Amino acid sequence: MSNQYVSERLSSKLYHLLYPKAHVRSDVWLEPKYGYVKLNVDAGFDSDTLAATFGAVIQDHRGEFIAAANEKMDLCFDSFTAEAIAVRFGLNLASAIGCSKIEVNSDSVEVVNALSQDYSSSVSSSIIDDCYFMSLGFSHVIYDHRNRKRNRVAHELVRLARFFSPSVWIDNAPDKVIPLLVNDATLLMNE
């Protein structure tokens, strides 16, 4: 057993003693690694009309707003496809504003797994392939699953896309999501 392994195990045990799981909140936005930006994406899918809406928001490691966008699509096959398109939509936004290192968060476990394994057997595999090739344009991309409670801004952008024209916001967030962004940053400061 190496000294590094023993040290890591002791550090992990000490961390869990100091910060027990009972105190870990599952409803707060988590900052990305230092030097990375966080790209939260979400999609909405209406199985009756086959319409989809997408939202993406980019924040820095302090929770500060960088950019956001939302979009509508009149015809989409299923919720997996909608969630995969939301990731592609977010990657386009990140590329357009010149992001380099990004942590992509989605509330779709299936899409995150497909992106993390570079494989999808669904009808959406070409969208997963698009995301893979787009990710090559960044210096580093991390895909991670986050529940909806940790993805509130993107979720609200999806809701807004149902009622308003698709939009892109750079530097100045839409009024409807400012309270959610403030909440993200405040929770980070209090952690």
Predicted confidence pLDDT, tens digits, the chain (191 residues): 444 444 444 444 444 455 554 444 555 778 898 899 999 999 999 999 999 999 999 999 888 999 999 999 999 989 999 999 999 999 999 999 999 999 999 999 999 999 988 555 555 688 999 999 999 999 999 999 987 767 889 999 999 999 989 999 999 999 999 998 888 776 555 55
Whether 71 maps to a domain, the answer reads yes
Tell me the CATH number at 181: 3.30.420.10
Number of domains in the chain: 1
Whether 92 maps to a domain, the answer reads yes
Whether 17 maps to a domain, the answer reads no
Domain extent, residue 113, equals 32-190
Whether 24 maps to a domain, the answer reads no
Residues in the chain: 191
Expressed in angstroms, the distance from the first to the final Cα of the chain is 34
Whether 19 maps to a domain, the answer reads no
Q: What beta strand segments (E) does the chain contain?
A: 37-46, 51-59, 65-73, 101-106, 140-145, 167-170
Whether 106 maps to a domain, the answer reads yes
Whether 23 maps to a domain, the answer reads no
Whether 101 maps to a domain, the answer reads yes
